[in-house]
Structure 1
Amino acid sequence: MKKIYLIAVFCLAMVSAQAQELKWHNDVKEAIAIGTKENKPLLLFFTGSDWCGWCIRLQKEVLKTPEFTKWAKDNVILVELDYPRSVPQTPEIKQQNYEIQNVLGVQGYPTVYFVKGEKKDEKFNLQALGKTGYVPGGPVAWLEVANGILSQK
């Protein structure tokens, strides 16, 4: 009986953990469509996921916390724009990421842009709302900055 109880608790924990996971998009056009439908801005996370120490630190201290997960589900559509050194990417994703990096003038990582996306005459436009990067102090400090940016929209 004890084993069945432990197995049930484990299964519930796994389902709960999976329900907590966030959906990070890598196709900006798809994310814009979702953001338009849900009336939410996009959070564009510019990262060097396999080499950038500050990017990894931002992920660990903020983007993978329960506080951020809850906030993100209510407030934004998440988009990861990755510039890895050893992780393969399709040519289309590479081109998309570099084009958006150039349009927004991103020069360092991590950079987090909040944008309003729209499709107009078969073209996609991004209106910058504000940007941030790594903020010391964990999720509370980071979310304070993010909420400040989003409150101006």
Structure 2
Amino acid sequence: MKHFLFALLCTTGMSVTGWQTNFETAKKLAKEQDKLILLNFSGSDWCGPCIRMHREFFSNDQFTRMADSALIMLNADFPRDKKHQLSKEQKAHNEALADQYNPSGKFPFTLLLDAEGKVIRSWDGFPSMSPAGFSMEIKHLYESRNKQKNDPL
């Protein structure tokens, strides 16, 4: 039942942290709210490390608090099971994102982007750090970016 609910949340584009599924919308929100974009490539119904990352990292209380204040979450999901298939439009959108940001087809693959779509940091595979360490690293990158933005010298 838990796996069904998780897959349902991923395919609808929303979860605990409010995942977006459209890159242009994510960039617009990031600009308006002065946030960064966390883009995650996942296989919600077949990739064990992806499922584990969503469960252990993205649903972690410390992460969700940090994400609420610093991130626009963007999910590019590539489900394989027919019952979880995306619309043709969403599939094409995710494939275009993969062409641009994940041409090697790594899963999971996570990127931290600025509001223009420029890569700040990427994580290949399941992070070797703890969920708290992952959250702290992103928070530090967000705060460093804001400090540089507000201090032109």
Letter in 1 for 2:107: Y
The structure 1 residue matched to 2:26, chosen from 27, 31, 34, is 31
Match of 1:95 in 2: 92
Q: Which runs of 5+ in 1 are unaligned?
A: 1-19, 119-125
| Post-superposition CA distance 1:60-118 (Å, at most 9, x none) | 21111111110100111001110110111111111111111111134311111111233
* Identical counterparts, % of pairs: 23
Q: Which runs of 5+ in 2 are unaligned?
A: 1-14, 146-153
Q: Is the 8 A contact 1:42 1:77 kept in 2?
A: yes
Greater per-residue strand proportion: 1
Alignment of 1:72-151 (within 5 A): 72-86=67-81, 87-107=84-104, 108-118=106-116, 126-133=117-124, 134-150=126-142
Q: How far apart are the structure 1 equivalents of 2:95 and 2:134?
A: 26
Runs of 4+ residues deviating >2 angstroms? 144-153
| Post-superposition CA distance 1:9-30 (Å, at most 9, x none) | xxxxxxxxxxx93211111111
Deviation at 1:47, TM superposition (A): 0.3
Match of 1:121 in 2: none
- Bigger CA radius of gyration: 1
Q: TM-score, normalised by structure 1?
A: 0.74
Q: TM-score, normalised by structure 2?
A: 0.74
Task: Say what the alpha-carbon RMSD is for the aligned residues.
Answer: 2.0
| Post-superposition CA distance 1:99-149 (Å, at most 9, x none) | 11111134311111111233xxxxxxx211111142234311222333454
| Paired residue secondary structure (1:129) | strand
Q: How far apart are the structure 2 equivalents of 1:55 and 1:88?
A: 17
